[in-house]
Amino acid sequence: MKISIAQFKSELGAVDENFSTATRLIEGAQNSDVILLPELWSTGYYPTPVENFADIDGERTKNFLCAAAKKFSVNIIGGSVIVESSGKIFNRCHVVNRRGEISATYDKTHLFSFAQEDKVFGAGDKISIVELNGVRCGLAICYDLRFPEFIRKIALAGAEIIFIPAAWSLKRLTPRQILTKARAIENQIFVVFANSSGKSEIVNPRGEVIAESGRDEEILTAEINLNERAEVIAMMNLLADRNLNVD
């Protein structure tokens, strides 16, 4: 599976400009199987008041992603955008398949209280697994990465790859690089992390970084071989070996 990360730092509040940038990067990565965008790519992280920048029911975002996915016959994991739905504001990811159809949505579950996300966004309450090109893919957003029990739940649901759009400050780069490796190793999955601030990466189930970006706008592309994951599990099946019979 050929995966591309469309890494770019959005202009805060400049929605039309950010859509234009996303259009250009998606076109540049069109020969991939899956394209992943960063967190809150359409608005930047994050303009206030957020309700003034919310995409009502995600309609503009969905129409845009569906048209691009169908035009280039590519699966797009649409990072995340600010969405107003049923009177609440969510940090929401839309996934679109090659036919230009919405395949899944996911609302950020763990809200970053340090940035007061919990004051403005509603929290998601379910995991999301979507099959793309026959591969089971899990979704998380940025701060979700810090919660091992949440990522484990996604792995137990059968995810082979977890896609994580983010707007992670490079001031906290070291812990993030440790966390992506740890989540990959302990769950024996690929981790694909798209960061608007740069240093996006793709990590294999051994915790090895197979592709890493710089800090500027970039299309980061790598081939993922799912047989590699099968080989790792055949040698040491961590999920099967779990022993929960403890007090």
Q: In this predicted model, what pLDDT tens digit does every residue of 81-123 receive, in sequence order?
A: 999 999 999 999 999 999 999 999 999 999 999 999 999 999 9
User: Residue 233 in contact with residue 188, Cβ under 8 Å?
Assistant: yes
Longest dimension (CA), the chain: 55
pLDDT value for 247: 83
- 39, 84, 117, 160: the active-site residue: 39
Q: Which CATH superfamily is domain 2-241 in?
A: Carbon-nitrogen hydrolase (3.60.110.10)
Residue 108 annotated as catalytic = yes
CA distance 228 to 246: 32
- pLDDT above 90 (res 187): yes
- 9, 142, 160, 201: the active-site residue: 142
Helix spans in 13-140 (H): 15-28, 59-72, 117-120
Closest listed residue to residue 164, CA positions, set 1, 2, 5:
5
Task: Sketch the domain layout of the chain as residue ranges.
Answer: 2-241
Mean pLDDT, residues 1-22 taken together: 98
Backbone φ, ψ for residue 231 (5° rounding): -65, -40
What confidence tier does 32 reach under pLDDT thresholds 50, 70, 90? very high
- pLDDT above 90 (res 233): yes
How is residue 158 annotated by DSSP?
A: T
Q: At what angle do helices 148-156 and 173-187 cross, to 10 degrees?
A: 30
pLDDT value for 1: 97
Q: Which residues lie closer than 8 Å to 15 by C-beta, 6 or more apart?
A: 42, 43, 53
How is residue 190 annotated by DSSP?
A: E
Average pLDDT over all residues of the chain:
97
- pLDDT above 90 (res 246): no
pLDDT value for 158: 97
Q: How far is CA 71 from the centre of its chain?
A: 22
- pLDDT above 90 (res 50): yes
- 93, 108, 117, 201: the active-site residue: 108
CA distance 222 to 242: 31
Residue keyed to tokens 């980061």: 220
Q: Does residue 35 sit in helix, strand or coil?
A: strand
How much of the chain, in percent, has pLDDT values that exceed 90? 99
